[in-house]
Amino acid sequence: MTNIYDLIIIGGGPAGLSAGVYAGRAKLKTIIIEKGNAGGQAATTSEIVNYPGIRKTSGPDLIQEMKLQNEDFGVEFVKTDVTDVDFSGEVKIVKTINGEFKTRSVIIATGASPRKLGFPGEAEFTGRGVAYCSTCDGEFFEGLEVFVIGAGFAAAEEAIFLTRFATKVTIIAREPEFTCPPTIADKVFANDKIEVKFNTEMLGVYGDGMIQRARFINNETKEEWEYEAKEEDGTFGVFVFVGYQPQTEVFKGHIEMDRFGYILTDDNMKTNIPGVYAAGDLRPKSLRQIVTAVADGAIAGTDAQKYVAEEKDRLGIVDEPEEEKPAKKEETAAASSKEGKSSLLSDAMRGQLKGIFAKIESDVTLVSIVDESMPKSVELRDFLLDVAELGDKLHLELYNKGENPEMETKIHADKYPVVSLLNANGEYSGVKYHGVPGGHELNSFILAIYNLAGPGQALDASILDTIKSINKKANIKVMVSLACHYCPDVVVGAQRIAIENPNIEAEMVDISQFQDIKKEYKVMSVPAMIINDEQVVFGAKKIDEIAALLV
Active-site positions read 133, 136-137
**What distance in Å separates the CA atoms of residue 447 and residue 456, rounded to the nearest whole number?**
8
In angstroms, what CA-CA distances link 180 with 30, 177, 285, 449? 36, 9, 16, 45
Residues in CB range of 119: below 8 A, 6 or more apart: 202, 203, 204, 205
Strand, coil or helix: what is 528?
strand
Q: Please report the beta strands in 329-445, taking only residues with DSSP state E, as ranges in sequence order.
A: 364-370, 394-400, 419-422, 428-434
Taking only Cα atoms into account, the Rg of the chain, rounded to an integer number of angstroms, comes to: 24
Report angle CA 181, 238, 48 to the nearest 5 degrees: 35
Nearest of 213, 126, 115, 119 to residue 536 by alpha carbon: 126
Q: Within 10 A of 83 (CB to CB), how many other CB atoms are there? A: 15
Query: 29, 320 in Cβ contact below 8 A?
Result: no
Give the whole-angstrom CA distance, residue 38 versus residue 18: 12
- How open is the CA angle 536-539-542, to the nearest 5 degrees? 105
* AA identity, residue 235: T
φ/ψ of 414, rounded to 5, equals -105, -5
Query: For residue 471, how many C-alpha atoms fall within 13 Å in the half-sphere facing its CB?
Result: 1
Query: Could you check whether the bond before residue 455 is cis, i.e. omega within 30 degrees of 0?
Result: yes
